[in-house]
Amino acid sequence: MRLRGKRAVITGGSDGIGLAIAEAFLREGAEILIVGRDAGKLEAAREKLTASGPIGSVEPIGSVETVSADLAARPGVAAVVEHVKAAARPLDVLVNNAGVAYLVPFETVSEAQFQHSFALNVSAAFFLTQGLLRYFGAGASVINISSYFANKMIPKRPSSLYSLSKGALNSLTKSLAFELGPRGVRVNAIAPGTVDTAMRRKTVENLPVEAKAELKAYVERSYPLGRIGRPADIAGMAIYLASDEAAWTSGAIFAIDGGYTAG
């Protein structure tokens, strides 16, 4: 168990990629705190994580706590920081996974969408990392969940706002790796390709029928492995980055995308 005894905070941990990372961390022996806005979804996630025989049919090893907080607002960030502070134990891993994707045409992006996108995709990671910095233990790891959309686009899928926010997160990752490295804190990002999450399914459901068909065909011909990702596909890299095996890994953006950005 590569994460035994480590304490981890995972934002957006009640479903999708965040929940898959939480499940994987738990199996590796971590003590996890999952953060989400919806208290009901958090409780359902906690019950799933603590039940016997989760994904992989492996009984959970670590422990699970939850905090309901809207990280797009500063009080939500403060609530997470206070929870970690009250534990009076060093924090080993922070996974900044909470995010939102407004895949809407550039000309229709509203100011509210712009502000919310940056509040959750960028500011939350910035200020939560800043707020928790004093509680990081030796060799702590920050893992930012970015996106291939920071560097590569899909025809007929408008992504100006989402790409902008994830590009900013990549820049934050690299700059913090330099700034926090002397303190022994490692900062990396995972840039998934398209992953089958509830957020993705909701986005696709809103597309016209023709656009859905085009998207399916595009995935089949553009991904060398012939499919989009599953949340569990991202968890393995997160385990590595959280573990002592990655002690000399910092400032990297890891493309976990079925080979999509290789060409």
* Cα–Cα distance, 63 to 61 (Å, whole number): 7
> 203-212: per-residue pLDDT in tens?
788 888 988 8
**Domains detected in the chain:** 7-262 (3.40.50.720)
pLDDT tens digits, one per residue of 114-165: 999 999 999 999 999 999 999 999 999 999 999 999 999 887 789 999 999 9
- The average pLDDT across 12-41 equals 96
Choosing from 102, 135, 162, 260, the catalytic residue is 162
Predicted pLDDT of residue 189 = 98
Task: Return the pLDDT at 195.
Answer: 92
| Predicted local distance difference test score (pLDDT) of residue 211 | 84
pLDDT of residue 52: 54
pLDDT band at 59 (very low <50, low <70, confident <90, very high): low
Q: What is the DSSP string of 12-80?
A: TTTSHHHHHHHHHHHHTT-EEEEEES-HHHHHHHHHHHHSSS-TTS----SEEEEEE--TTSHHHHHHH
pLDDT at residue 58 in the model: 52
DSSP3 helix / strand / coil % (the chain, rounded to 5) = 50, 15, 30
Q: For residue 56, is pLDDT > 70?
A: no
Over 50: is that where the pLDDT of 54 sits?
Answer: no
How confident is the model over 24-33, as pLDDT tens digits? Answer: 999 999 999 9
User: Catalytic site residue 162?
Assistant: yes
Q: What is the pLDDT of residues 63-101, one digit of tens each?
A: 999 999 999 999 999 999 999 999 999 999 999 999 999
> Cβ distance 187 to 180 under 8 Å?
yes
Q: pTM higher than 0.85 for the full model?
A: yes
- Determine the pLDDT at residue 199: 72
State the DSSP code for 137.
E
At 220 the pLDDT is 81
Length of the chain: 263
Average pLDDT, the chain: 93
- Per-residue pLDDT tens digits for 216-243: 888 888 899 989 999 999 999 999 999 9
